[in-house]
Structure 1
Amino acid sequence: MDELKGERCKRRFYFFFLEFWETIEAVELVPNWHIEAVCDELQEVYEIWKRGESQPDMLINIPPGSSKSTMVTQLFPAWLWVNEPSIRVISNSYSSTLSVGHAVKTRDCLKSDKFQRYYPGLIEFKHDSDGKSAFKNTRKGERFTTSTGGTVTGVHGDFIIDDDPLNPEMAESEVERNTANRHASRTLSTRKTNRNRTVTIRVMQRLHEDDPAGRMLKKKRKPRHICLPGELTPNAVVKPERLREKYVDGLLDANRLDREALAILAEDLGSYGYAGQVQQSPSPEGGGQLKKSWFKKITWPEFLEKTKGMQLDWQFDADTAFTEDQKNDPSAFMSSVYIPPLLYIRNVAEEWLEFPQLKKRLPEFCLQNGYGPRSKVHVEPKATGKPIVQELRSIRELNFVEAPNPEKSKRVRVNGIAPFCEAGRVVLIDGAWNDMFLDQCAGFPMATHDDMVDDLVQAVNRANGKKKSFGYA
């Protein structure tokens, strides 16, 4: 009987997961459709590897409390050894304690009485390589653990499992994100046994637009993507799309993540944390601190009709940066006019430019978007802002001024303009730039760049008379 069960589990990872859950978990398993779906996707990845075929890496975005680590990092490596004892696995997490904990559970499964009954004599551990963080079997199989920022010297893997490479509590730190991204791109990626055949499986909740999952999605070769938000909402993204029909009453898992559990998570995580960790979207639906629905729109003919006979003094805001590298911050320019109580935005541009090109492009933007005798170009007085004001003041047809120095954090400054925006007092003149601008506003503070938001804060603060309270962004 044990032999038959063992063969059944060998043939399908999902059956192995159900059978061997009890060897590493004390609580009773409550199965759900998403577990079967993820297990089957993992099995297909193995089968492609077994055939020696090339395939993209794999990305799994799934909410906390969904047994993701038990599936991917703990039991999947054990099942791989059932099928190919010589397979080498490298696993990574944001802390060494977490990484070692996953490896210990894999070893507990392999050393369990049930495993020995189902697969007698299949896996024998090397006596000199049977530690918690790394162990080998007598058939050349290895399981090695590391953590974000750590080294992986002299070890290569057939499967690289990157489970929670970024600490959710540190996701807003650019330093921590950069560390996690460098570890993924410069360390783990170099540890593949075969560049074409070895698969990296990254499993995590979305934490930021520029987290390791985000970097993976931006690659030219898109990963095999499993994306399962905790609940279906109008903008929720489910991948593969066919899994959308598996949701019951709009819920991923009515047992683990029912409405009450989701409400508690929303309260504990806040709108940004919930959007990323539960809904797998780096920004809340409709926006975070700045909601898309707060911004009104008007067509250019409607605006001209509304302002007929008025003298319009268009004002310009510039958040400047000198680079052509799109990994760095771009420069952003905004044209707006305040007609109490409304701020009308005519155009916003975002471009990566070197300094000579910036000197040429900024005046062009102003002259194309309503610059007149009473207009000013308000430039943020940061490291790049001061020299550009000095340089551009030599252009006599434009009036460049330094905007007031920011005195508070960017989040506080954006909070300061939020009531103005929420009251519907910012109106966008219809244009191709609208969606790009709204997406950045909605993504703040999780978006990679926020230069257009900087310009918005400057313009609103001028209109709102809050220069001293909040400064410019």
Structure 2
Amino acid sequence: MLSRDSIIQEIQILEAIEKRKCERSLAEFVKLSWHIIEPSTKLIWNWHFDVICGYLEAVTSGKIKRLIINVPPGTAKSTLVSVCFPAWEWIHNPARRYLGITNEQGLALRDSLKAKTIIESQWFQSKWPIKFNPRQNEKILYQNVDTGFRQSLGITAGLTGKRGNCFAGNVKVLTETGLKYIKDVCIGESVWSINVLSGEKSLNKVRGTIRKKDCSVVEVFLNDGTSIECTPEHRFLTTTGMVRADELAVSTPLNVINVPDAYRIKTLITFDGKPLLVSRVIKSRHKVDTFCLDVANNHTLFVGKSKDSLIPVSNCLLLDDCHDSTQVESDLQRQTVLDAYDYKISTRLNDPDNDAIILIMQRLHFNDLTGHLLQKKHNKWVHVSIPMEYEGSQGFDAGRDIGRPELIYPRTKDGELLFPERFNRKTVNSLKEDLGEYGSSGQLQQRPVPKGGGILKEKWWLVWPDDKPLPMVEHLFCSWDTAYSEADLKNNAYSAMTMFGVFWHEQKQRYCLLMTKAWAGQVGFPDLRRKAKSIDEEEKLDCQLIEKKASGISLVQDLKQSGIKIRTYTPDRDKVARAYSVSSMLESGQVYIPNRKWAQKVIALVSQFPHGAPPSADFTDTITQALIYLRNSWWVSHKDDAINNDINDRHDEIAKQDIAWDMYEDELNIQRTNDRTAAYG
């Protein structure tokens, strides 16, 4: 029988082994800490857990700086990334700082508190005794004694819409050269600021200035006679934390900071070494313009509507399902999230070259945050995509990405499930039925366009053979979707054009359609007008087809005055309905494209409609408009098509002598032939 001392020694050895295993492996840490956060749920380990943990370990080692992981909902992605990973990293570096961001702050707060639960547990503390700073130990923002912290935010709460935390223009701020009215501070100047977590004071450059007109303000009076006008939601740094201006109580002491030269700043922090007390707060009867500064590498000057949206500089951004699945179809709501990332979130790293950003989410839209980031040219993102059902291709290469070839993709058969112990075939089929085709392709399969395309599928387009002479066309026209108003340009809208030729197909004994040119761009009216005129002069078009909407009327009138033949189109249904109305024409094999990269790109964009990024919808509009025009002009028809009487002109029997082929992206030299056809150079 082992003695008591031997048993204790054996336990200590086992605990040391367990500690070492956890330190070396995030996967082991997850397995051994699972009971703390999910005491009533048995852990069923799956191969994708190892993959995700392996990529996260590569973030810790510095091999990866930007990581995107797309996996279906319910597969423990938040538990791995937003709960266990930060707690595990604090073992190695307790000074690590995290900013956790989700589509709604409550979700970020949930995961942050779960991570804190692990850290505060007896199991964790017995191995890695990390202590929290009692001066900053709130749910939303907690800090340890090594200055590491975790803050939780909703991505749009306080980052979009009306901006708060602003001062009236007569408030002075402390700059490098002395006190200066905030309204007069310019980008590039240096201002004094403080890191509220560490107390460190420093001069930092102003990166941006924000001005809002006619704002309601409150006036805060202090016991030294100072009065400060600011927006009600502005936060003052008190001795007990940050407090809204309109919630400051009488006798509330403001924090006191000493800085070089003993400047006195009439703002949320004072510098003369004496405590200041709030004497009263009143709502101003007048409205004023307010100002706010965005300061580089700073933990104090913020832009937001509430304390929950204050954004400190961090070492790691954890972005977890930043889109609300119920609102992602709204262009406005989706763009709000993208703008929040581009203009605020992406700047919140202490060292952008070495710190990390991790995005984990289910795909919801072609132009969701994943799609948006992957389109960027100068940021290299490592992308891991793991669908619910195997579709014949791997979504990652761990050997190439992180030097871990043992993290293999185990599925080899089409339709093989990701996590059959949790999501069996019956469950998956039920989910697919509930989510529908688009929801399933995004949330389950991580490709937010159904396989083969959306409404107008890629496989329906026929490619004209390279070894076959191009057909003689009898009718040549352009179809336009215009966007050149101030609102269009502000929203990054595209104008788009596709050119089609109608020809008689001898084998099919019917008229068919060949796309001959395509263009899209973000231009104003003068450039768009010049484009339309130059195309008409070069091609001698039979007509140009333009939708009769607000942004198209001016172009119609201008081109008609120039003698150009215009036909207008007034749709009687929305974009999606128009796409469905012409889908049978495309499916029946009546529409051809040339075997060129630009054409492939155009149909790829069209296949993504209605979920594709611009100019997907713009090109789709030109094509549906063109097909409706031809169908109602009796050029091209299908027995299943309904007739739209907006365009009912019969075609003119006009043969075109030649066609110039304009490449959408990869332009080629043009050669013309004399046999009423055209050839590629």
TM-score (norm 1): 0.88
1:345 and 2:358 correspond: no
State the secondary structure of the residue aligned to 1:118. coil
Higher helix proportion:
1
Query: Partners of 1:168 and 1:239 in 2: how far apart?
Result: 28
Gaps of 5+ in 2: 1-13, 158-303, 633-641, 649-681
Match of 1:217 among 357, 364, 374: 374
The residue aligned with 2:600 is 435
Structure 2 residue 380 is matched with structure 1 residue 229: no
Write the deviation string for residues 115-149 of structure 1: whole angstroms up to 9, x where unpaired: 23333xx1222334333222122222211000011
In 2: Cα distance, 1:384 partner to 1:178 partner: 22
Q: Deviations over 1:200-251 (max 9, x none)?
A: 1111122222211112112212112222222322466445476664226444
- Following the alignment from structure 2 to structure 1, what is the Cα–Cα distance between the partners of residues 606 and 597? 16
| Cα distance in 1 for residues equivalent to 2:411 and 2:589 | 36
Cα drift, residue 164 of structure 1: 0.6
Larger-Rg structure: 2
Amino acid at match of 1:80: E
Residue identity matched to 1:32: N
Kindly tell me: are residues 272 and 238 of structure 1, through their superposed partners in 2, closer, same or farther at Cα, counting changes over 3 Å?
farther
Partner of 1:282: 448
* Alignment partner of 1:411 is 2:576: yes
The answer for the alignment partner of 1:88 in structure 2 is 97
TM superposition shift of 1:98: 1.0
Name the stretch that deviates more: 139-148 or 328-337.
328-337
Give runs of aligned pairs for residues 92-107 of structure 1, distance below 5 A. 92-107=101-116
Change (3 A) 1:284 1:72: same
Alignment correspondent of 2:585:
420
Could you tell me which of 46, 62, 66 is aligned with 1:57? 66
2:46 corresponding residue in structure 1 = 32
Percent pairwise identity: 26
Is the Cα contact below 8 Å between 2:99 and 2:316 reproduced in 1? yes
**Would the aligned equivalents of 2:480 and 2:495 in 1 still touch at CA under 8 Å?**
no
Q: What amino acid is aligned across from residue 282 of structure 1 in structure 2? A: P
Pairs within 5 Å for 1:140-289: 140-150=147-157, 151=304, 152-153=309-310, 155-219=312-376, 220-234=378-392, 237-240=395-398, 245-247=409-411, 249=413, 250-289=416-455
SS at match of 2:68: strand
Q: CA deviation at 1:429?
A: 4.6
The reply on whether 1:329 has 2:494 as its aligned counterpart is yes
Deviation (angstroms), 1:34: 1.2
Deviation at 1:302, TM superposition (A): 4.9
**1:413/1:470 contact within 8 Å kept:** no
Query: 2: distance between equivalents of 1:439 and 1:76?
Result: 38
Partner Cα separation in structure 2 for residue 146 and residue 390 of structure 1:
51
Q: Which sections of structure 1, spanning at least 5 residues, go unmatched?
A: 50-54
SS at match of 2:475: coil
Q: Within 2, Cα distance between the matches of 1:324 and 1:367? A: 27
> How far, CA to CA, are the matches of 2:137 and 2:532 in structure 1?
64
- Where do residues 121-132 of structure 1 align in structure 2 (5 Å cutoff)? 122-132=129-139
**Residues 306-337 of structure 1: CA distance to partner in whole angstroms, max 9, x if unpaired?**
x6xxx812232111233899943132232232
- Aligned partner of residue 246 in structure 1, secondary structure: coil
Kept in 2, the 8 Å contact 1:316–1:336? The answer is no
- Within 1, Cα distance between the matches of 2:449 and 2:647? 25
Output the CA distance in 2 between the equivalents of 1:162 and 1:426.
Answer: 43
- Using the TM superposition, give the Cα deviation of residue 355 of structure 1 relative to its aligned residue in structure 2, in angstroms: 3.0
1:376 aligns with 2:543: yes
Aligned partners of 1:232 and 1:342: how far apart in 2? 41
- SS of the aligned residue for 1:463 comes to helix
Larger mean Cα displacement after TM superposition, 460-469 or 169-178? 460-469
Per-residue CA deviations over 1:245-299 (Å, capped at 9, x if unaligned) read 4226444333234433332332222222222222222211110111112222334
**CA 1:101–1:470: 2 relative to 1, 3 Å:** farther
- Aligned mate of 1:359, from 505, 526, 529: 529
Range 8-17 or range 344-353, more displaced: 344-353
1:137 partner letter:
N
Look up the match of 2:166: none
Conserved? CA contact 1:89–1:159, under 8 Å: yes
| Contact kept? 2:390, 2:412, Cα under 8 Å | no
Instruction: Find the residue that maps to 1:226 and give its secondary structure.
Output: strand
Relative distance call for 1:367 and 1:269 in structure 2 (3 A) is farther
- Normalised to the residue count of structure 2, the TM-score between the two structures is 0.62
How far apart are the structure 2 equivalents of 1:453 and 1:235? 28
Over 3 Å counting, the alpha-carbon distance change for 1:277 and 1:18 in structure 2 is same
Q: Does 1:137 align with 2:144?
A: yes
Q: Is it true that 1:114 corresponds to 2:123 in the alignment? A: yes
- Tell me the secondary structure at the aligned position of residue 458 of structure 1: helix
SS in 1 for 2:126: helix
Is the Cα–Cα contact under 8 Å of residues 225 and 239 in structure 1 kept in the other structure?
no
Matched to 2:411, the amino acid is Y
Three-state SS of the structure 2 residue aligned to 1:384 is helix
**Structure 1 residue 431: Cα displacement:** 4.2
Letter of the 2:600 partner, please give it.
D
Asked which structure has the greater RCO (Cα within 8 Å, sep 6+), the reply is 1
> 1:470 and 1:286, CA in 2 relative to 1: closer, same or farther beyond 3 A?
farther
The count of aligned residue pairs is 456
Which residue is equivalent to 2:180? none
1:386 equivalent in alignment to 2:569: no
Contact 2:394 / 2:409 at 8 angstroms: preserved in 1? no
CA, structure 1 residues 326+247, in 2 after alignment: closer, same or farther (shift >3 Å)?
farther
Q: Which residue of 2 aligns with 1:52?
A: none
Provide the aligned C-alpha RMSD in A: 2.8
Instruction: Report the secondary structure of 1:457's partner residue.
Output: helix
1:292 alignment partner, one of 458, 461, 470: 458
Look up the equivalent residue of 2:389 and give its one-letter code.
E
SS of equivalent to 2:142 = strand
Query: Matched residues in 2 for 1:252 and 1:276: separation?
Result: 15
Name the structure with the higher strand share.
2
Contact 2:65 / 2:355 at 8 angstroms: preserved in 1?
no
Say if 1:275 and 1:285, in contact at 8 Å, map to a contact too.
Answer: yes
Given candidates 41, 48, 71, the residue that maps to 2:62 is 48
